[in-house]
Structure 1
Amino acid sequence: MLVVHNPFRTSTVLAVLISLLLLGCSRPPEIIGIENASISASTTPDLSRHRIFIATTRSASNEPGALLSASRASSLGLASVEVTVPPTHVVGQLERPKDLPPDPRTEFSAVEARLYGNDAAMIDAINRELAARPVGQRRLLLFVHGYNNTTSDALLRLAQFVEDTGFQGVPILFSWASAATTSRYVYDLNSALIARGEIRQIADIMAQTNAESSDVFAHSMGTFLTMEGLVDLQQAGTLGRRGTINHVMLASPDIDIDLFRSQLGQLSPAIRDRIYVLVSRDDKALRVSSRIAGGIPRVGVANTAELEQLGVTVIDLSEIGDSSSGSHSKFAGSPDVVQLIGAGLNSVGRFGEDTSPAVSQILSVSPIRIFGD
């Protein structure tokens, strides 16, 4: 058999591998349940605290600080963790400890992990959190993390996001079984596919709480999982019929543009009208993802006019250059962006309408552009 060496193909594969290696910096330690014996979070003044509920397709972990592993579980697990935010926190930053134990005076910590044996126990716990909030703030936020995330990664990012947006409701993290290793992209993609079936159970749990309404925020590969879950709920006839969905926000979507068009086509106009897509032309991670996918463009770097024609609102972050978390996570790493999202989530009505003066104020001094609202 004649084998012809293709230098272009080889160089392309090498470029992808090098890019993946550059993305894979050393990961900080897992911190869930790791308390500082000499500086307790319970006695540290001026901390912000967020009880974050977790629905997961990960199996349990015996590793200190991990709580959950990269292995796939056979059923949905339920838990919650209290995350503390230091009084020195800066908007757009994630002051994550590089060494253990965390210092709650200057670093995020994750304490008081609780496990729930069934849906009812989780629902009761969420309802207690909702009852502690005034009418008008009894909302849920479902956050779906992306590729290459541990539970600690996603949990702390969500806590920082809740803190910086000023979200007033109760946050829920959907932690699916990412391998949290840059070279295992295909494993993560398959884990997301496996996890999409659990969206129904999560939606059932949310519908049975006393929440007034819900928001959904997904990042990267988590947007693929979210869209697949929405399509599944639409086909089951339950999407949007068991509670009000305010916003479905998709940040840096790692979705094939043709697949996204197909997914949108299976959703009702009422749901499409609530979808907001955060894009950025300089997203390096999605450029790598496009190469892995054989050159097919990803939604997060797609042309804004093309996306607008699909009936979704597009939030273009291409000119934002101050993200502490890089080009792929501007939703949390840029002060302007995270505060804009917060103003939209906490507003009455659709994102960016005249009922949200805070949104208009941010847009007037920021290079963020919104199309299709």
Structure 2
Amino acid sequence: MTAHLFSPITLGNLELPNRIAVAPMCQYSANDGSASDWHLQHWMNLAMSGAGMITVEMTDVVRRGRISHGCMGLYSDANEAAAKWALDAAKRVATPGAKFGTQLAHAGRKGSNRRPWEGSGPLGADEDAWPVVSASAFAYADGWQVPQALSEQGIEETIGHFVQAAKRAERAGFDFIELHSAHGYLLHQFLSPLSNQRTDKWGGSLENRMRFPIEVARQVARAVPKLMLGARMSLTDWVDGGFTLEEAIEVAKAYRDVGVSYICCSSGGNSPLQSLRTGPGYQVHLAEAVKKATGIPVRAVGMIDQPEQADAIIREGRADMVALGRALLADPRWPWRAAAKLGHEFHPAPQLARSAALMKQWATAG
């Protein structure tokens, strides 16, 4: 049986050994934006997983652009040095051909929050909270901070922060950059009419609402031409009057035209009023629609956790790659299991090779 999931793919100037991607997952364990011992073991673990494309977590371009005090950043020399330290170690133990990228972001109005295990929600005045910004002065939800609408100067400065963080990513040794314009963070806040009600050139029409994220992509692509550039998008807000799939397709085309090589196709996150039904592969149809309309390679994500399911998505041409998050946290050797289940050879590091037969036994049992 041919395992389409394990066929190689080229995105931009980057050759990947298979179609399995690690989705970026916040760990909330950084020290003022700097990678910690937790990141060292986490990245090394992902490096040995067998996934061809490893996107480390949402990494913020300014200190006040983080979700929480524990979020990763690339806004200081210390952040850059720590990222290089952890990445160098991960690369030394990585599966041959695996590539590493960072997801650059700004939380916007969804920043200044507690870590999930601390209760989430906005930080209190006694918790070193900071003021947040957005496209317009509308809070994400009741009880959340009302953000300051970014000025023209603030928008230009933020674009510059993305560019500087991209240069830090290149120096740290990442192979690609993913721009986070999904899940209700700043780039998404500009795209969605729910959060962007500006009347200047940065709001109103779709052309204006996409101006900021597209300019970020354009300038990042120019600043680090050797790094492959991708983007994660929420393709719909799942709210009446919000950002739509039809609009997202036009944004994806614009991203493609300024040098973005793939779109990771997610959804939601910009309103607590969103209404959607989740289930295995519930967002795959969004990836399929973007792929069909734009021709840009797409990554499907969202409750994809069975090898046969992932392989079928690729085999049927619905997406070019699949991204896994929680499945890889639960089973860091998921790509081995998928290979064993689908009858494809896999080659663990020599130190781990004695486990291969047991993995095949587990994967094919029952």
TM bracket (short chain): 0.3 to 0.5
Normalising to structure 1: TM-score of the pair?
A: 0.39
User: Relative CO higher for 1 or 2, CA cutoff 8 Å, sep ≥ 6?
Assistant: 2
